[in-house]
Structure 1
Amino acid sequence: MKPLARRSLPIVAILTAVAVFSVAYRWGRRSAHPNSAASDSSGRPANDRAPLPSAFRIVGNSMAPTLVDGDVCQLADCDTLQIGDVVAIRWGGKRHVKRVAAVEGDVVDRVEGRLTVGGWRLEDRLAQRDTDEFLPPALVPVNSQPDHWSRDAAVPSRLVYGHRNPHQAGRITPVMDDYPINQTVRRVLNRVDRLVVEIRAKTPTVGPEAPFRVFFYDAERSLVSTTSRGGWARYRDAVADHTADTERGNEQLGMLDAAHPVAVELDEPQASRYTLHVYREIEYRDDRPSGNVNYPVTVGDEEVFVVGDNVPISVDSRTLGPLQRTAIEGQIRTPSR
């Protein structure tokens, strides 16, 4: 028996060394990735009972363009919950990141395809919040190249944007609710009306950007205008031009129409010093109702109604209905990229 014991010793030593190495390797990998949630490629946590990490990595693009695949987000407790908060929420055994669209007592409805909360379009409810309080929806870039802007023959002091639809071989059409990131998604597009213009100096300047008059076409009010602030102008800040119903107002409308929705007061010397970029706000819609949600929906006690900012592809309360508030694990803070 002694010779057999001697032969067994090297085997036991090898097995012990392998076990120690395996434990050390796994511990080292966990230490090397402290900001990653323990999950597999599908986003399923490796251990449902593991405490929520202070930060984790976004998987997928259901919250794009606000949060995109690979972003690392900080998490915080959310004792109070408001419309617009972005949260980590669990259902179906997986962790998801969504935006709170409504809380208990709110009525969510679908009007002409758009989601409304308490009678207001959801994007308008979000715009009422201070952007320092939460993670606001990002702007969606609209295809706006320099040659998409032309001088208005009726009002030569203006540059007018004509939207060349990339889905219709560059035809001039109204701006639609497409997402550049959704290259493979086929769906019916909808016209949008919450546009934003950025006026960016080609070379660095000292001090803030000069204010410029910006005009937006409005199907009901014909012409609305605002003044850019810090190089930005938004449709939602514009006010109606009260001369639009007069002959002079019709002249002022110039080339503006649904397919030429934006004009900027820039003479030729100024135009040579700036570039113009068009964006749109996210529109929250439910274009393909699941049948599981019967609008209007009143959110019950201890429930939330959540949506994803990448509206066409996100699976959320538009399919599942309101979710339990206890499923929320934390609130998302500004991501690092």
Structure 2
Amino acid sequence: MIEGDLVEVTALQPTAIQPEGGNQLRIGDIVAVQVDGRMRVKRILGLPGDVVSLQQRRLLVNGKRLEMILAEAGGTRKPAFVDVDIDQHRSDSRWVRASEPRDSDWLVYHHQSVYEHLRPSEIYDDYPCNVDVIRPLDPVDQLAVTLSLAAAARVDVAFYSIAGTRLATRHLVANEPLTISVGHAELADSISLTPQTPIAIRVRDELGQDELGQRVRLNDLCVRRSVEYRLRRRDSDAMYPLTLKQNECFIVGDNVPISVDSREFGPLSMNNVVGFARRLTPQ
């Protein structure tokens, strides 16, 4: 959500803020909260009894990264994504056919740093909307790709990971955009990738043709990254690990570099949680 969005707030039921009454709030929920006399929209990172800790300044809840929890949750608790590269806006594509003959049916994404004269680079946690923010960037590992096909076909998407290549296979309906993330992929013996070439795509030959026998066209390619929740350089790590009390929650904002949240003022009373927040789509 950004400034100017219209947000619908659904009030919590009394039991939703009382753990003994069956807590309806879940980690990852987007809520409206009262902070310093202002209404803000934030995400729940921790609830009463949860332990908030750090791993290389990444925020963990009960030992797990929030972005990983969101990737596995589905439903209304969808992970927040930031667009990294939208291919249709460039005349020279960063998607290049793999150089190894055995991998020639793969298209590989080659990332380039816009801050360093387009040199090959791994993907960092840039926020293009924060034009006035100057800060060090950190590498990210939760990547995704959105695409559509001109005809129905089966698609393989491979992702780089430290543990090895991860592979996801999906059947796409014609002209229907689909987002596939590394969270949907499993370790597999497949094309070799690097942090500078972190994603590859192929359309299966047996299903990659339309009714006239022509190769199916990939459309609307967009590389995305999940928001990663971490401490900023200015945030103190002195209070971690932190076990939340029975009437406390820990909130974070998806615009991680500039959000005013529990990283600054600590745990928030559950009494400050007004309700569930949902962005309304303009009619």
Report the TM-score range of the alignment, normalised by the length of the smaller protein: 0.7 to 0.9
User: Could you tell me the TM-score, scaled by structure 2's length?
Assistant: 0.82
Match of 2:201 among 248, 259, 264: 264
Distance 1:293 1:317, change over 3 A: farther
Distance 1:283 1:270, change over 3 A: farther
1:178 aligns with: 126
Query: Cα deviation per residue 1:180-217 (whole Å; 9 max; x = unaligned)?
Result: 2112211111111111112223x5x5xxx422011111
2:154 counterpart SS class: coil
Letter aligned with residue 39 of structure 2? R
Distance 1:144 1:219, change over 3 A: farther
Asked whether the equivalents of residues 71 and 79 of structure 2 are also in contact (C-alpha less than 8 Å), the reply is: no
1:216 aligns with: 159
2:116 aligns with: 168
2:187 aligns with: 240
2:254 aligns with: 309
Match of 1:148 among 85, 91, 94: 94
Aligned length: 253
1:102 aligns with: 46
Identity over aligned pairs, percent: 34
Question: Which 5+ residue runs of structure 1 have no aligned equivalent?
Answer: 1-66, 244-248
Give the 5 Å matches for 1:107-122.
107-122=51-66
Matches of 2:222 and 2:264 in 1, distance apart? 35
Distance 1:234 1:273, change over 3 A: closer
Matches of 2:134 and 2:216 in 1, distance apart? 37
Asked whether the equivalents of residues 292 and 320 of structure 1 are also in contact (C-alpha less than 8 Å), the reply is: no
Distance 1:163 1:273, change over 3 A: closer
Letter aligned with residue 82 of structure 2? V
Asked whether the equivalents of residues 144 and 223 of structure 2 are also in contact (C-alpha less than 8 Å), the reply is: yes
1:292 deviates by 7.6
Asked whether the equivalents of residues 159 and 198 of structure 2 are also in contact (C-alpha less than 8 Å), the reply is: yes
Q: Which has the larger radius of gyration?
A: 1
1:91 deviates by 1.9
Q: Choose between structure 1 and 2 for higher RCO, CA contacts under 8 A separated by at least 6 residues.
A: 2
User: Could you tell me the TM-score, scaled by structure 1's length?
Assistant: 0.70
Matches of 2:171 and 2:245 in 1, distance apart? 41
1:291 deviates by 2.8
**Structure having the larger proportion of residues in helix:** 1
Matches of 1:123 and 1:226 in 2, distance apart? 19
Question: Which 5+ residue runs of structure 2 have no aligned equivalent?
Answer: 17-23, 173-177, 209-213
Asked whether the equivalents of residues 100 and 306 of structure 1 are also in contact (C-alpha less than 8 Å), the reply is: yes
2:169 aligns with: 227
Letter aligned with residue 212 of structure 1? V
Asked whether the equivalents of residues 174 and 191 of structure 1 are also in contact (C-alpha less than 8 Å), the reply is: yes
Letter aligned with residue 125 of structure 1? I
RMSD: 2.1
1:90 counterpart SS class: strand
